[in-house]
Amino acid sequence: MQVDVLNANELKKSAPVFGQLSFDNHEQVVFCNDKDTGLKAIIGIHNTVLGPALGGTRMWNYSSEWEALNDVLRLSRGMTFKSAITGLNLGGGKAVIIGDAKTQKTPELMKSFGRFVDSLSGKYITAEDVGMETADMDTVREVTKYVTGISEDKGGAGNPSPITAYGVFMGIKAAAKHKFGSDDLEGKSVLVQGIGHVGETLVEHLTQDGAKVFISDINEERLEAVKNKYGAIIYDDADVYAAEVDIYAPCALGATINDDTVNRIEAKVIAGAANNQLADEVTHGTILRERGIVYAPDFLINAGGIINVYAELENYDKKEIIRKTENIYNTTLEILSKADKEDMTSHFAALKIAQQRIDDRKKQNLK
């Protein structure tokens, strides 16, 4: 069985799509442009062996189209493994809209994007991600049925962020169990980097479990609000990676574990909500393992959101959503134990299990 991993240093701009390692045999990449609304978007469909490619839409003010393309390729690939490791009958897809969500997002732009999604006839199903709200998914729903994460009063599962945060919390407890021998977080110090919708809810869970929570974010107003609401401590040192805490929970954008930071990290456990936390899956995953730092694979522990929106497709209730999300705890323990037993990184151990499920289904489909 072959499992490909990303080496960020191998990415070259000379072949913008097929030549990128992040392309990783994507089935389809769709470039969307609408002059009237200003829409510039890219939809990445990585793999549909297990089912339609479901993944959120991110609106971000990328510095270049190259950056946007690389992001959607990495994110959609991650969704393939996220669904596979979680046991969902879904493939991997993702979309990015290039622009400032605060100033450039309009109902017309979202409807235009929705029409592009609709043109794929269900091969890609969209949902909420960074820069998006549940109301935006409701707008997309006006022009296509291939959208999840719509409002509960419209028959959807609602905002996936609380379930995402709960899944990350389950992953943190499992990683703590593996590293410290107990999943009791009473007195454990946790640094949450990024306190958006998911990060704030994670702070709430950690605080309720007795952890000493530090918070870091570029938005000072958010820091003060979360501090006052939960009693969290604002981490005001410039170097969050050198923080002497038990657990580091990256919950903002990805690639925070990179050449510059990987050897500065003092935490004993890394477990957070951000996607693609390892800038280089091979190099940085190996360094963490050699340093004795437990890394809970991001695409596993942040899968609560897709579990939540998958309920809209399979028609299961909140009780089943919670049950499936709580199982992230067991799967995380399984992955970490497998990594130790087989002397490999936890990220690679998770990829192997996910890829095996995809390969098995592919064989079934060929019969």
Is 178 marked within a binding site? Answer: no
The annotation status of 190 as a binding-site residue, yes or no, is no
In angstroms, the CA 235 to CA 308 distance is 31
Q: In 3D, which of 15, 26, 59 has the Cα closest to residue 41?
A: 59
In whole angstroms, what is the distance from residue 92 CA to residue 223 CA? 33
Asked if residue 43 belongs to a known ligand binding site, the reply is no
Q: How far apart are CA 119 and CA 95, in angstroms?
A: 14
- Residue tagged active-site, from 40, 94, 123, 324: 94
Element (H, E) at 332: helix 318-341
Q: Do the Cβ atoms of 275 and 302 come closer than 8 Å? A: yes
Tokens of 112: 């235009």
51 is in an annotated binding site: no
Task: Tell whether 92 is in a known binding site.
Answer: no
Cα angle 358, 305, 98 (rounded to 5 degrees) comes to 90
* Residues 321, 304: Cα–Cα separation, whole Å: 8
Q: What are phi and psi of 235, to 5 degrees?
A: -85, 105
* Alpha-carbon gap, residue 4 to 109, rounded angstroms: 36
Tokens of 343: 């002397």
Q: Which residue has the tokens 């393992």?
A: 289
CA–CA separation, 209 and 187 (whole Å): 9
Q: Is position 188 annotated as part of the catalytic site?
A: no
Kind and range of the H or E element at 93? Answer: strand 91-98
* 199 is annotated as contributing to ligand binding: yes
* 3 state DSSP class of 28: strand
What are the start-end ranges of the H helices in 87-236?
107-118, 134-141, 161-180, 197-208, 220-230
Q: What angle do CA 36, 37, 41 make, to 5 degrees?
A: 115
DSSP element (H, E) containing 40: strand 39-47
Tokens of 355: 């890829």
Active site (catalytic) residues: 94
Annotated binding site for NAD(+): 194-199
Annotated binding site: 194-199
